Structure 1
Amino acid sequence: MQQDILINWSPQEARVAIVENGAVQELHVERTLERGLVGNVYLGKVARVLPGMQSAFIDIGLERAAFLHVADVWQRQPDGEPPGRPGQPQVPIEKQVFEGQSLLVQVIKDPIGTKGARLSTQVSIAGRLLVFLPQDDHIGISQKIPHDQREALRARLTRLVGAPGGGFILRTNGEDASDDELAEDIAYLRKTWTRIREAATRLPAGSLLHQDLNLIQRVLRDLVTCDTQTIRIDSREQHALLAKFGEEFMPSAAAKLHLYKGERPIFDLYNIDEEIAKALGRRVDLKSGGYLIVDQTEALTTVDVNTGGYVGSRNFDDTIFKTNLEAAHAIARQLRLRNLGGIIIVDFIDMQREDHRDSVLGEFRKQLTRDRVKTMAGNFSQLGLVEMTRKRTRESLAHMLCEPCEACMGKGTVRTARTVCYDILREILREARQFNPREYRVVASPRVVELFLDEESQHLAGLSDFIGKPISLQSESAMGQEQYDIVLL
């Protein structure tokens, strides 16, 4: 599958689009003033230990305290195996950390919404070919490398690592690397860890000890695959910096780097800005005429599949089957495009035939394997729903680019003008029982005032007669439909 990577850079923002066969599959955005924290290493200070939640709040110098769960507190194992194995006894967090303690921690999940960053005490440093685990002695191989090659690669990596001095995991793009390249990466990662430890001895708690690469550098390290044909960037200055960085650390990826000199903006080549606008909407149209409805909430994301205008050509079962098959492709793409994470519920159209359900589920899981983020999908539930999870490490596209509407406060709906009118009538009656003004003045949005002057005029006049006071109206265009003020004159 042909893949192209487009990089649109400006001083305030970097945007990366991954395009496969002419269709945008992934979008990555990093803003200079809102740079992500995942991978950063801090010297934190334990602010509070919560035994009831088996967690602790750690001050790492950010606006909100970060969160450390007992499952993310690293413990050395006698046999050198990584922690977290099934059945392994967990030491309570109150016996591992205490308030005021200085702690070396790494961010594993960015702050999302009202939640602070999530931390781990097991540090991992990513290089071009390897991931270094300085507190461990485990030698691992990427799960994406064929199983029959792993033992030979593990033996080779063990020989290069030499005496125990930290664990290493071979990344997918290190499968064909030479011994010299692997040795260079090992030396670079160990030098980085030495620099982190030295900084931890001289800097105060709350200090940043190590920062991960920026987005356009991570393109070469993390996003380039053997399917990548070209990497095009529209900034001459950043192209020179990225080429220099790539030649030193990722020469094979740097060879695919090109400076885009076209007249049109680089994202216009594949209508990427239009795709971003679509990815912020609820509805996703399918080519067949069906459509998806994507709703993102605090707890989970739901995806509903509908046939829409697709009526098929044979029978009802085939129409539903074809719509669901197309939806399986579209949903997997939307998860990557929107960077949706956490719990996701997919409501495919109900299928009567077992073979149709198996085919749709198989195709859906096949499409999910293309995702570089870890996903896990279950079977159809008794209600015909597919429950799945997708690892969430950073904000979704909508949360990054949008904010709650001031008019509806994020509800997605506002009360009708008539509902607001009746709220105002009740409020005036409540005020009349406590105060004795000369006149009541209602200041409200134009639609509410217009309704009072037309359909609700009789009710307003009746209330005025009942309380024995005049009620005047004042239209205020700056007010939202739910906003109003009652002035006592």
Structure 2
Amino acid sequence: MSEMREQIFLSLHPERTEFYRWADDRLIQAIVEKPGQGSLAGGVYLGRVLRVEQSLNAAFVEIGLDKPGLLPLKRQGAQPTEGDAVIVQVRRDGREEKGVRLTTSVKVPVDVVALAKGKQPPAQLIAPPTVWHTALEALAPEQVASIICDRRVDVAPVADWCRKHRRGMEDKVAFLPDREWVPSRTDIKERVAEALDEEVVLPGGGKLLIEPVRTLTAIDVNSAAATAEKGFERTALSVNLEAAREIPRQLALRNLGGIIVIDFIDLENRNKREQVLEALRQAVGIDPAIEWVGNMSRLGLVELLRRRAGPTLAEMWQGQNG
């Protein structure tokens, strides 16, 4: 787990929610959400089974969205049939042509059966958690130094939520108008602009090329920008180590999910490959959404899996002004 003490900046306006994590003079996470644009994960619905696909061992369930959700049946109890009403929770947001992923294993501290009584599907029973709820729930209280709200009226509700859901954070909530934020909004926006670039220059001169495609995200590590002007030649190991420490931060900041394939610079020495892999596994502590890190192949390839949650940074920032 990272030892950095993080500052959280919150702007909870009706027309737009902003959440920023800042540590060690760097932006770690940036979320901007307008009403209706956020993640549906965690929402609970009374849905209607449209059809059961035996070949997929899954059912398609209408919950009131443009596309039906997919409900895997492998671990379900009684098998639903077409037309059945089912209570489901969104496990994963939809992407492109795919609908949301659903489960009947609903995890909420209320009686959802009582909520569904008298309702006709499709109907929302519990709204998805707000973006700042989800973001704060993913963090350990000890890693957060402060939670700064840009409106005084938001301090009490945020502190009350922390008291109920993230005890230990409630005394860290404070008001500070955004004109007094350090970093400033201008600083934050500059860092966001950097994170929208597909290239990342590492401190020692190496470079990352980050290319999200439809099925995965490919990250190429290279030493093409290694700094000859500094008077020494960067080794493949040192560039790879810098990349391993930087990649989890970039994934969190850009909110890139799914399968990530990292192509490190080739290392013939097995011990050096293990050193890079260990650096990567230590660095992922900064990002609670990273669920799995694989081994490194002889060619320097490493796969990892990051949980999808809402739109990417590029999608969030598209069309944003101010």
Q: TM > 0.5 between the two? A: yes
In 1, the alpha carbon distance for the partners of 2:225 and 2:311 equals: 34
**1:340 and 1:276 mapped to 2: Cα distance?**
14
How far 1:244 moved relative to its partner?
4.1
1:378 aligns with 2:294: yes
Find the aligned partners of 1:245 and 1:380 in 2 and give their Cα distance.
41
Q: 1:298 aligns with which of 208, 214, 234?
A: 214
The alpha-carbon distance between structure 1 residues 355 and 217, as it changes in their structure 2 partners (threshold 3 A), is closer
In structure 1, what is the equivalent of residue 91 of structure 2? 108
Match of 2:311 in 1: 395
Are the equivalent residues in 2 in contact too, given 1:220–1:253 (CA < 8 A)?
Answer: no
| Unaligned segments of structure 2, at least 5 residues | none
**1:48-197 paired onto structure 2 within 5 Å:** 48-71=51-74, 73-75=75-77, 96-125=79-108, 189=109, 192-193=110-111, 196-197=112-113
C-alpha distance in structure 2 between counterparts of 1:399 and 1:14, whole Å: 15
The residue type paired with residue 101 of structure 1 is D
Amino acid at match of 2:76: W
SS in 2 for 1:263: helix
3-state DSSP of counterpart to 1:223: coil
Name the TM-score, length of structure 2 as normaliser. 0.89
> How far did residue 341 of structure 1 move?
1.3
Structural mapping, 1:327-476, within 5 Å: 327-402=243-318
In structure 1, the residue matched to 2:32 is 29
SS in 2 for 1:202: coil
In structure 2, the residue matched to 1:464 is: none
> Is the 2:141–2:168 contact (alpha carbons within 8 Å) kept by the matching residues of 1?
no
Q: Give the conservation status (yes or no) of the 8 Å contact 1:348–1:384.
A: yes
Q: Larger radius of gyration, structure 1 or 2?
A: 1
For 1:30 and 1:373, locate their aligned partners in 2 and report how far apart those are by CA, in whole Å: 19
- CA apart distance, 1:347: 0.8
1:261 to 172, 177, 186: 177
**TM-score, normalising length from structure 1?**
0.60
- What is the aligned-residue RMSD (CA, Å)? 2.4
Q: Which moved more, 1:378-387 or 1:218-227?
A: 218-227
* Contact 1:216 1:242 survives alignment (8 Å): no
Measure how far apart 1:264 and its partner are: 4.5
Aligned length: 315
- Give the number of the structure whose residues are more often helix, by fraction: 1
* Offset at residue 397 of structure 1 (A): 1.8
Question: In structure 2, what is the Cα distance between the partners aligned to 1:298 and 1:246?
Answer: 37
Q: Please give the per-residue CA displacement for 1:429-484, whole angstroms capped at 9, x wherever unaligned.
A: xxxxxxxxxxxxxxxxxxxxxxxxxxxxxxxxxxxxxxxxxxxxxxxxxxxxxxxx
CA contact (8 A) 2:141 2:166 kept: no
**Paired residue secondary structure (1:357):** helix
Once the two structures are TM-superposed, the CA of residue 269 in structure 1 deviates from its matched residue by: 6.1
CA distance in 1, matches of 2:165, 2:6: 22
2:127 matched to which residue of 1?
Answer: 211
More strand as a share of residues: 2
Which residue matches 1:309? 225
Return closer, same or farther for 1:382/1:251 CA change in 2, 3 Å cut-off.
closer
State, as a whole percentage, how many aligned pairs show the same letter: 31
Give the unaligned 5+ runs of structure 1. 76-94, 126-188, 404-489
The one of the two structures with greater contact order (alpha-carbon pairs below 8 A, sep at least 6) is: 2
Q: 1:235 to 1:357 in 2, by over 3 A?
A: same
User: CA 1:366/1:244 → structure 2, altered by over 3 Å: closer, same or farther?
Assistant: closer
